[in-house]
């Protein structure tokens, strides 16, 4: 029995050390995921459509309306990842607040030459139709050239290897008081309508 005691102590020590190492392995395989609340907000404010012609993809567009409700969820999630206090979160949220009606959209076209939504003289025309049927032209269409890992994490549909991401802004009164909108992308290749 005396010979078993040192072996038992050694076994217990190995198990304790092994449990600590096992904890590190558990952290390695644990995914960094978005919260359910943020995913719900992203799903609620995002629309997607692919236009086809003769079994060929013409364009795929995914857009998120950066509605106040969505922005609240975004900054709450951002604060969670970066351990920001409530006051730091509010300060960042207020600094990023815009009176414009904004969208982030991602576009994929098989022919990269056709993915020119922000270019002057582009084949694409973009406009917004509010709930009353009024048509609004964009104030800004800007390609986001530096797609960061942060953007890909918060907007998982953005795939910079295949398509391009854009910022789209309309004047503040574009959908004020109507609560709904139809975002239209139109060209000789396709017409895509995303409805909220």
User: Domain extents for the chain?
Assistant: 1-30, 35-195
Gap between the Cα atoms of 51 and 107, Å rounded: 11
Cα–Cα distances (Å) from 80 to 35, 76, 88, 142, in that order, read: 9, 6, 11, 29
* Residue listed under structure tokens 């953005």: 158
Gap between the Cα atoms of 85 and 73, Å rounded: 15
Residue 78 φ/ψ region, left for φ over 0, alpha for ψ in the -120 to 50 degree band, beta for the rest: alpha
CB of 175 closer than 8 Å to CB of 128 = yes
Six-digit token string for 85: 């206090």
What's residue 26's pLDDT? 46
What's residue 31's pLDDT? 47
What's residue 180's pLDDT? 85
pLDDT above 70 covers what percent of the chain? 81
Which of 124, 132, 141, 131 lies closest to 184 in space, CA to CA? 124
Residue 27: pLDDT above 60?
no
Q: Which residue has the higher pLDDT, 92 or 45?
A: 45
CB of 183 closer than 8 Å to CB of 63 = yes
Which of 114, 157, 112, 164 lies closest to 141 in space, CA to CA? 164
At 25, is the pLDDT very low, low, confident or very high (cuts 50, 70, 90)? very low
Which of 69, 88, 63 lies closest to 158 in space, CA to CA? 63
What's residue 34's pLDDT? 92
Is 76 exposed, middle or buried (CB count within 10 Å of its CB: 0-12, 13-18, 19+)? middle
Alpha-helical runs (H) found in 30-183: 36-45, 68-82, 86-96, 149-154
Gap between the Cα atoms of 80 and 60, Å rounded: 31
């Amino acid at each position: 029995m005396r010979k078993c005691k040192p072996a038992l102590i050694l076994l217990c020590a190995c198990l304790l050390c092994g449990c600590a190492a096992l904890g590190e392995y558990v952290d390695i395989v644990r995914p960094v995921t978005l919260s359910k609340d943020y995913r719900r907000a992203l799903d609620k404010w995002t629309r997607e459509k692919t236009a086809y012609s003769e079994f060929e993809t013409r364009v795929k567009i995914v857009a998120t309306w950066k509605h106040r409700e969505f922005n609240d969820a975004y900054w709450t999630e951002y604060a969670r990842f970066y351990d920001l206090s409530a006051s730091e979160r509010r300060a960042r949220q207020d600094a990023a607040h815009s009176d414009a009606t904004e969208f982030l959209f991602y576009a994929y076209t098989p022919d990269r030459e056709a993915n020119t939504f922000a270019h002057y003289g582009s084949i694409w025309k973009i406009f917004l139709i509010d709930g009353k049927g009024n048509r609004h032209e964009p104030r800004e269409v800007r390609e986001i050239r530096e797609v960061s890992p942060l953007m890909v994490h918060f907007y998982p549909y953005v795939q910079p290897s295949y398509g391009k991401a854009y910022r789209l802004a309309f004047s503040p009164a574009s959908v004020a008081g109507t609560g709904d909108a139809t975002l239209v992308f139109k060209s000789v290749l396709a017409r895509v309508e995303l409805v909220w």
